[in-house]
């Protein structure tokens, strides 16, 4: 993989947000010839400064050299726009046949199947491969990948998977299975954040210092990864959007739509969706998803002015 310069495995990360930037840096650390694609010039420059071969809003200069593409954009619409463009002139048309495309946005299973079918019709190898772990795991090359697709796609993308993932769960060959596993995972993640916010809001109403409540929970049986990570933002009064409220509005909508398609009730997920949608409607959509706590009335929160 890392022989002569001309034989280096070449990978492009599309979407240089908090997770995409970490994944791209992990590719550099693993010795891959790494490229980036993002509309944000500052992110592209930061990746070049970190050692990328190239980075920009347009991948046409290097697309034909790539072995693999990792899509870490927000939703299915962005996946389609990047890959196919409005007139079929997107990134996919510039890739060599046999290039692996790892679709890692959180999207519906039907969208995963549609995108993969279009890629396969163009001679490309598609992997339905959502990820989890947040910015810290991405930066450490330790994301969890839940992937489905043909064996040839796994084989083609193995160097990329090795670079960015601590664990790769091979769900099966049927495209859409990876997306479904991620949607079920997001049910838990969203409910845990909402429940954590409710607990901390109750603590605030009862006059319990939130840093004390946080320490108790994170050292007791009620803790969860999402509580420990997100409620620290509440204690610190810092709602810098590492993952925004609107992301969970989108993800929990996917959860509820999946359940509706299966005629299956999800009372907790439905409530969590309503909480995030309410937070977004109140103007907190672009804040960190811990800002769902701001919709509780009659409490004082660190760093938050009273209305």
Q: 154: which 2 tokens?
A: 């796994």
Catalytic, out of 137, 182, 250, 294: 182
pLDDT digits (tens, 9 = 90+) for 161-200: 999 999 999 999 999 999 999 999 999 999 999 999 999 9
Tell me what pLDDT residue 3 has: 38
Tell me what pLDDT residue 133 has: 92
3-class DSSP state of 33: strand
- Domains of the chain, each with CATH number or no CATH: 5-173 (3.40.50.720), 180-295 (1.10.1040.10)
Token pair 């840096």: residue: 25
Least confident of 3-17, 122-136, 284-298: 3-17
For residue 41, pLDDT over 80 is answered with yes
* Residue whose C-alpha is closest to residue 77's, from 86, 67, 64, 66: 86
Token pair 């491969």: residue: 129
Q: Are 14 and 42 in contact (CB under 8 A)?
A: no
Query: Could you tell me the pLDDT band of residue 43, with boundaries at 50, 70 and 90?
Result: very high
Tell me what pLDDT residue 5 has: 53
* Residue whose C-alpha is closest to residue 268's, from 255, 251, 285: 255
CA-based radius of gyration for the chain: 20
For residue 2, pLDDT over 70 is answered with no
User: Is 182 labeled as catalytic in the residue annotation?
Assistant: yes
pTM of the model: 0.92
For residue 12, pLDDT over 90 is answered with yes
From first CA to last CA, the distance across the chain in angstroms is 58
Q: Are 161 and 149 in contact (CB under 8 A)?
A: no
For residue 235, pLDDT over 50 is answered with yes
Beta carbons within 10 angstroms of residue 120's beta carbon: 16
3-class DSSP state of 56: strand
Least confident of 1-10, 20-29, 148-157, 266-275: 1-10
Percent over 90 (pLDDT), the chain: 93
Q: What is the largest CA-CA distance in the chain?
A: 64
Token pair 């980036």: residue: 36
Strands 131-132 and 143-148: antiparallel
Q: Are 108 and 134 in contact (CB under 8 A)?
A: no
Q: Are 81 and 25 in contact (CB under 8 A)?
A: no
Tell me what pLDDT residue 95 has: 98
* Residue whose C-alpha is closest to residue 72's, from 169, 139, 171, 118: 139
Query: Could you tell me the pLDDT band of residue 1, with boundaries at 50, 70 and 90?
Result: very low
Q: Are 189 and 39 in contact (CB under 8 A)?
A: no
Tell me what pLDDT residue 6 has: 61
Beta carbons within 10 angstroms of residue 163's beta carbon: 24
Q: Are 120 and 126 in contact (CB under 8 A)?
A: yes
Q: 280: which 2 tokens?
A: 């977004």
């Amino acid at each position: 993989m890392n022989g002569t310069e001309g034989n280096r495995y070449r990978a492009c990360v599309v979407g240089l947000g908090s997770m995409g930037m970490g994944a791209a840096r992990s590719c550099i650390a693993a010795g891959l010839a790494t490229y980036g694609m993002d509309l944000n010039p500052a992110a592209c420059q930061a990746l070049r400064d970190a050692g990328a071969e190239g980075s920009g809003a347009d991948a046409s200069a290097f697309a034909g050299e790539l072995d693999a593409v990792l899509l870490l954009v927000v939703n299915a619409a962005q996946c389609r726009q990047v890959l196919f463009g409005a007139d079929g002139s997107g990134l996919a048309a510039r890739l060599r046949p046999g290039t692996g495309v790892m679709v890692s946005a959180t999207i519906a299973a039907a969208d995963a199947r549609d995108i993969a079918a279009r890629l396969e019709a163009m001679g490309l190898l598609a992997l339905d491969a959502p990820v989890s772990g947040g910015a810290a795991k991405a930066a450490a090359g330790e994301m969890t990948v839940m992937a489905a697709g043909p064996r040839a796609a796994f084989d083609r993308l193995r160097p990329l998977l090795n670079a960015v993932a601590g664990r790769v769960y091979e769900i099966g060959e049927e495209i859409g299975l990876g997306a479904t596993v991620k949607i079920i995972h997001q049910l838990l993640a969203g409910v845990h954040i909402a429940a954590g916010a409710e607990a901390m809001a109750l603590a605030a109403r009862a006059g319990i210092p939130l840093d004390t409540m946080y320490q108790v929970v994170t050292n007791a049986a009620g803790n969860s990864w999402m509580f420990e990570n997100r409620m620290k933002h509440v204690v610190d009064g810092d709602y810098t959007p590492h993952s925004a409220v609107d992301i969970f509005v989108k993800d929990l909508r996917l959860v509820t739509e999946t359940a509706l398609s299966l005629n299956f009730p999800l009372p907790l997920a439905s409530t969590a969706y309503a909480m995030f949608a309410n937070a977004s409607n109140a103007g907190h959509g672009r804040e960190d998803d811990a800002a769902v706590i701001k919709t509780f009335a009659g409490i004082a929160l660190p760093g938050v002015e009273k209305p």
